[in-house]
Amino acid sequence: MPRILIAGYQHETNTFAPSLADWDAFTRGDSFPAYVRGAEMQAALNGINIPVAGFIDAARQQGWTLLPSAWAGAIPSSYVTRDAFERIAAAIVDDVQAARIGGLDGIYLDLHGAAVAEHADDSEGELLMRLREVVGPGLPIVASLDLHANVTERMLRLADALVAYRSYPHVDMAVTGERAAALMARRLRSGRRDRLSAKRLPYLIPLNAQSTWMQPAQGIYDELQALDHEHDSVLSFCMGFPASDFAECAPMVWGHGDGAVRAVQRLYARAAEPRQWQPDYLEARDAVAQALARAGQADKPVVIADTQDNPGAGGDSNTTGLLHALLQQGAGRRYPGQVALGLMFDPAAATAAHQAGVGAEIELSLGKAVPTFSGQPSDAPVQGRFKVLALADGRCTLTGPMMTGVSVRLGPSACLEIDGVRVAVVSGKKQLLDRELLRMVGIHAEQMRIVVVKSSNHFRADFTPHASQVLVAKAAGPMAADPADLPWRKLPDSIRRRP
């Protein structure tokens, strides 16, 4: 039976963000599974909603022999350090070289597609090139990609097939791994590559416009599936991660199969209309004012997305603009104990809460003023007296649709209350995409009037069904909601900064 090596390298790089992804970021296992290599890999990643788990399940059904190499993932941030990339790449390349001795029929890679290393702008392309140098042009290499991949010409040229998620929030990660396995099976049966067609959009799409829960993305992905059925193609549309400063940062439509050329042309025509990609934002104070006006009339909470401090897009989850706005407008006094914000990354505050104990009141400086793309720091920390309502060790298993089954380890965590506003404080960085992350410190989102989430879109999968309204707020932070606000240096003039 075919012998397939499996490996993974997952990082979404905001080159404008303040914190690097060093080797420790890949080995901590705080909000992604920790780095794993060899036989333990299958057991560690099996049964959770990530692509490699879906590939493993499909491979078992095919009867393939899997050769686990290494899987590495870290929360989005600035550049992957040279040291971290070289360790990950060397492990995978070494394992491929060793696997060839016993016979190797294919390689599957669980990639993100928007990882930028300090010394390699197209670091996934760099990894693919190193693998091709070992196995030559004939061995099948198939990879799955995140919907936010910035797909390069080199990636398309070096891989036999690439396939991306079709949902944002990414509820179909394991399904995409299964789709990659189907492409691998197709490649093994035919003995040749499928025909490839690809076309890049000439502008960046803001993250907040990309949700497949809303138009236009929802309709575009519906059409993608219809075109696949009509043309017997396997299409992908990556809307891109619009904060990676390199020459090929832009959305891409591509497809594999004899009918791919026509299918790509039709999908591109639908996706490339620029006027459809215009998201709505509110200033922090306006978002809170609207939420307060709505909260008293609704039977479900109003959710506010603190999009510019999204740790899933390179923020550090520690800015205070929305917290200041809640306090200034007396949100917690109007609805005591029914206004919540999370996750606030502040290890010192979490430690102080654990030292003081539940029920204690402590003086704190919560949050941090951080550099932003505007050149000005974010809002000052919140100084005041906080009550410790609950403590936790930061360990929980996610139960929402996005990363079902993934265990996170966020270190000492606490629910702190100030002026009636509850804040979920953690010692590790994690986008608030699952209500379980609030439950672990005693906050039940569905019982709140207002919930502020440090997220851009991933929260929608688990929060929107329990919300009366979703508002997107722009408080000062490291991740620009509008890509045109970023100080680009490497993006060519042929790629417009906004639609």
Nearest to 450 by CA among 324, 343, 293: 293
Q: What would the CATH number be for the domain defined by 3-276? A: 3.40.50.2300
Per-residue confidence at 493, pLDDT binned at 50, 70, 90? very high
Mean pLDDT of the chain: 97
Residue 305 has pLDDT above 90, yes or no: yes
Quick one: pLDDT at residue 34? Answer: 95
Quick one: how many helices (H) and strands (E) in the chain? 15, 20
Q: What is the mean pLDDT of residues 168-195?
A: 97
* DSSP state string for 152-219: -HHHHHHSSEEEE---SS-TTHHHHHHHHHHHHHHHHHHSSPPPEEEEE-SB---GGG--TTSTTHHH
**What is Dmax (Cα atoms) for the chain?**
69
Nearest to 10 by CA among 47, 53, 40, 43: 53
Quick one: pLDDT at residue 375? Answer: 85
Quick one: pLDDT at residue 46? Answer: 86
Q: Residues 232-252: pLDDT tens digits?
A: 999 999 999 999 999 999 999
What is the rounded end-to-end Cα distance, in angstroms, of the chain? Answer: 48
Share of the chain above pLDDT 70, in %: 100
Q: What is the mean pLDDT of residues 74-91?
A: 97
Enumerate the domain spans of the chain.
3-276, 282-482
Quick one: pLDDT at residue 361? Answer: 98
Bridge partners of 13, per DSSP, are: 77
Encoding tokens for residue 450? 């207002």
Distance separating alpha carbons of residues 2 and 64, to the nearest angstrom: 5
Q: Residues 95-131: pLDDT tens digits?
A: 999 999 999 999 999 999 999 999 999 999 999 999 9
Q: What is the mean pLDDT of residues 458-474?
A: 96
| C-beta atoms surrounding 201 within 10 Å | 22
Per-residue confidence at 326, pLDDT binned at 50, 70, 90? very high
Nearest to 18 by CA among 382, 423, 325, 345: 345
Quick one: pLDDT at residue 178? Answer: 98
Quick one: pLDDT at residue 302? Answer: 98
Quick one: pLDDT at residue 29? Answer: 87
Per-residue confidence at 230, pLDDT binned at 50, 70, 90? very high
Per-residue confidence at 144, pLDDT binned at 50, 70, 90? very high
Quick one: pLDDT at residue 47? Answer: 86
Nearest to 423 by CA among 329, 317, 498, 496: 317
DSSP code of 442? Answer: T
Strand 469-474 versus strand 161-164 pairing type = unpaired
Distance separating alpha carbons of residues 13 and 182, to the nearest angstrom: 29
Distance separating alpha carbons of residues 425 and 319, to the nearest angstrom: 12
Strand 382-392 versus strand 413-418 pairing type = antiparallel
Residue 321 half-sphere exposure toward CB, CA atoms < 13 A: 27
Residue with tokens 């109007």: 334
Bridge partners of 384, per DSSP, are: 364
Q: Residues 360-387: pLDDT tens digits?
A: 999 999 999 999 988 889 999 999 999 9
DSSP code of 33? Answer: P
The amino acid present at 42, given as its one-letter code, is Q
Q: What is the mean pLDDT of residues 382-405?
A: 96
Q: Burial-class residue 413 by CB neighbours within 10 Å (0-12, 13-18, 19+).
A: buried
Share of the chain above pLDDT 90, in %: 96
Per-residue confidence at 49, pLDDT binned at 50, 70, 90? very high
Quick one: pLDDT at residue 32? Answer: 87
Distance separating alpha carbons of residues 439 and 398, to the nearest angstrom: 10
SS3 of residue 355 by DSSP: helix
Integer CA distances (angstroms), 435 to 247, 292, 396, in order: 37, 21, 11
